[in-house]
Amino acid sequence: MGTLAATYAEQAKYKEAEELQLKELNLSKKTLGPEHPLTLSSMGNIAATYSDQGKYKEAEQLELMGLDLHRKLLGLDDPNTLNSMDNLAKTYSKQGKYEEAEELQLKVLDLHKRMFGPEHPSTLINMGNLAETYLNQGQYEDAEELQLKVLDLCKKLLGPEHSNTLTSMGNLARTYPDQGKYEEADVGKIRDAL
């Protein structure tokens, strides 16, 4: 059921995905219990479907419940808890709740650095997410600083032609015009500067 629902969600058939995910969640609660990891995963999947549909309040409610259960059952140092925190931060950001998003993203980034190291791919993704939140808040210098770090690490770890490196270049290029740095926004110049 979960796989079929995920396929529906990938095809943007959100109504079908949501119906199956709700059935799966109810069955999971009934057979495995409300605190089972698969039940928590089902909650997260429905929250993602809600978010994809723009139902941010519903997504936020499920993500808050899921995060509370993850913290209670697994602790803060579990990757599933970090993922729950990150998903909630993304939902906050989509709602324009940038301060709440930033607060969570700073915690997630700190935990990722501590658990996986400053150069782990998940850490880099979280740095990029925080940079995006800074950008949304008009904190352009903070966004640029983080994006430069991410770009430098991606180039060092993955190479200059890797898709993550190229995405990092694009993210940095989007930040420069907001600061009036139009010349620097040229991706070719960003690549040459590295």
Tens digits of per-residue pLDDT, 104-118? 999 999 999 999 999
51 and 19 belong to one structural domain: yes
- 90 occurs within a structural domain: no
pLDDT digits (tens, 9 = 90+) for 156-166: 998 989 998 88
Domain count, the chain: 2
Residue 33 has pLDDT above 70, yes or no: yes
Which domain covers residue 30, as residue numbers?
1-78
Residue pair 189/151 in contact by the 8 Å Cβ criterion: no
- pLDDT grade for 149, boundaries at 50, 70 and 90: very high
Mean pLDDT of 44-61: 94
What is the SS3 string spanning the chain?
CHHHHHHHHHCCCHHHHHHHHHHHHHHHHHHCCCCCHHHHHHHHHHHHHHHHCCCHHHHHHHHHHHHHHHHHHHCCCCHHHHHHHHHHHHHHHHCCCHHHHHHHHHHHHHHHHHHHCCCCHHHHHHHHHHHHHHHHCCCHHHHHHHHHHHHHHHHHHHCCCCHHHHHHHHHHHHHHHHCCCCCCCCHHHHHHHC
Same-domain pairing of 100 and 52: no
Residue 116, in any domain of the structure? yes
**Whole-prediction pTM:** 0.85
**107 and 193 part of one domain:** yes
- Does a structural domain hold residue 84? no
CA pair distance 132, 118, nearest whole angstrom: 18
According to the model, what pLDDT value does residue 181 have? 81
What percent of the chain clears pLDDT 90, i.e. is strictly above it?
Answer: 74
| Rg of the chain on CA atoms, in Å | 19
Q: What is the mean pLDDT of residues 147-153?
A: 93
Residues 101 and 193 grouped into a single domain: yes
Does 62 map to a domain?
Answer: yes
In a domain? residue 102: yes
Query: Is the pLDDT assigned to residue 125 strictly greater than 80?
Result: yes
- Alpha-carbon distance 44 to 82, whole Å? 13
Answer whether residue 86 is part of any domain: no
CATH number of the domain where residue 32 is located: 1.25.40.10
Range with the poorest average pLDDT among 31-35, 112-116, 177-181: 177-181
Residue 1 binned pLDDT confidence (cut-offs 50, 70, 90): confident
The reply to whether 100 and 188 lie within a common domain is yes
**The predicted structure's pLDDT at residue 188:** 63
Please tell me whether residues 161 and 104 are part of one structural domain.
yes
| Residues 135 and 58 both lie in one domain | no
Q: Which amino acid is at 161?
A: E
Q: Are 185 and 177 in contact (CB under 8 A)?
A: yes
Q: What is the mean pLDDT of residues 129-140?
A: 93
pLDDT at 190 (0 to 100): 65
pLDDT at 187: 63
